[in-house]
Amino acid sequence: MRIGIYFDDLCFSDSRTGGSFTFQQCIFNALKNLKDNKHEFYIFSTDKIDFPKNSFLKFIYLKKIDYPIKDSFFKKVKRKFFKKKENIFNNKEDLNNAAFENNIELMWFPTNSYKFVEIPFFYTVWDLQHRLQSYFPEVSVSGCKFEDREKKYSYIIPRASYIFIGNQAGKQEVVKFYNFPKERVKILPLPTPDFLFNYFETKNDFINKLGIKRNYLFYPAQFWPHKNHILILLAIKILKEKYGIDFDVVFTGSDKGNLNYIKEKVEELGLKEKVYFLGFVSIENLIELYRNAFALVFPSFFGPDNIPPLEAFALKCPVIAAKVSGAEYQLGDAAILFDPKSENELVSAIKKLQDDVILRSIIIEKGFNKSKSWKAEDYVCEVLRLVDEFSEIRRCWSNKQKYIHL
């Protein structure tokens, strides 16, 4: 089959987008290393991508539509008119036309990014938290608002040939919220990022330069409200005042509107000397932060699966994670789980990890084994198995012209 794969330009070119970038890079690298003679692969993107000379992948560059006028009035017109009618542009930068020009039989959207196509497509859903936890502002009133998310998913999900989701909890949510046939929701867990297995330990003075003198808890997460940074602050204050246990905290990640609030809370709680805000860090420094941390503490309210626990597993950093929908499927018994609403449960989890050396070594080993069990190449191979499965349906009509009902 001729398979088109759409890579979102922002996620693909900007590592500051976090998990979106990491996932997309992993999938792209797995595709480059794939040995498959049965299918033809076409990468569609508005971002110019470098391919190895011997790559069997074909790249189709989609030109961006540039709007020369940038005043507020034109922006309002653009949002009102062009967003709703973006498919009226009958030109080569339109993904639908480009797909037909290249006789694509099936399109895959590896991330939540979507552009209209008239051919069958597979679509990856990361989460439906706007339905589950609509009280968080980032899924209701700011950024991609509730009505925008709902309009998007209500349009895309019912039209998808298959939906990909991380685990059984996510599958149940897709079926429940969008009345989608459960047999067409396929479980594909997030893969462990491949760069972690290609890393060779080198001397890195990054930790020493930070001046950290105590054990530290590590949390790499962009500053959204749902990331729940506040819980870690409350927990380390209790650990110090009630138990005399002194931890620092290292936060990495870009600001999504909540950073100033967390900094204010740091001041309010008297933790200024114990909390490090590092912003964006390189992959090399990120790895060192994992390797030297007492634990990854991951209190995010959002599931059903997340990438940082997988990174920690691969680097033998013990994981303490929120017990949210999907966490038990993704993490199993390789992490200590706690209620993300309870700082006292987080305190107990940290103490448990500190007091029980045997438990610490057990979850490190289990996490490391889990990280090796499902990589990006496994993810892509499962996608291709589903392509083969769907091909028996797709062969029923032509891919060389738009279907016209007579």
Q: Residue 74 has what pLDDT?
A: 47
d(CA 139, CA 381): 32
Residue 63's pLDDT is 73
Nearest-angstrom CA–CA distance, 193 and 319: 16
Tokens 């900007």 belong to: 14
**Contact present, 144 and 158 (Cβ < 8 Å):** no
Strand runs (DSSP E) across 294-399, as ranges? 295-298, 319-322, 336-338
The CA R_g of the chain, rounded to the nearest whole Å, is 23
The pLDDT, as a whole number, for residue 227 is 98
Which residue has tokens 């017109």? 77
Residue 402: per-residue pLDDT: 84
The DSSP result for 368-388, as a single string, is: HHHHHSSBHHHHHHHHHHHHH
> Would you tell me how many other CB atoms lie within 10 Å of the CB of residue 357?
9
Domains of the chain: 2-191+375-394 (3.40.50.2000), 195-372 (3.40.50.2000)
Q: What pLDDT score does 203 carry?
A: 61
Per-residue pLDDT at 91: 43
**Sign (positive/negative) of CA torsion 302, 305, 311, 313?**
positive
Calculate helix-pair angle for 19-32, 376-394, nearest 10 degrees: 70
Averaged pLDDT, groups of 10, the chain, 406 residues long: 84 60 86 80 81 72 59 50 42 77 95 92 95 94 87 96 97 97 97 81 75 92 97 98 96 95 98 95 92 97 96 97 96 97 98 96 97 93 95 92 84
Note the pLDDT of residue 6.
93
Q: Are 297 and 350 in contact (CB under 8 A)?
A: yes
In 187-307, which ranges are continuous DSSP H helix?
A: 206-210, 229-243, 259-268, 283-292
**What is residue 50's predicted lDDT score, i.e. its pLDDT?**
67
238: its two tokens: 């209790």
Contact 314, 304 (CB under 8 A): no
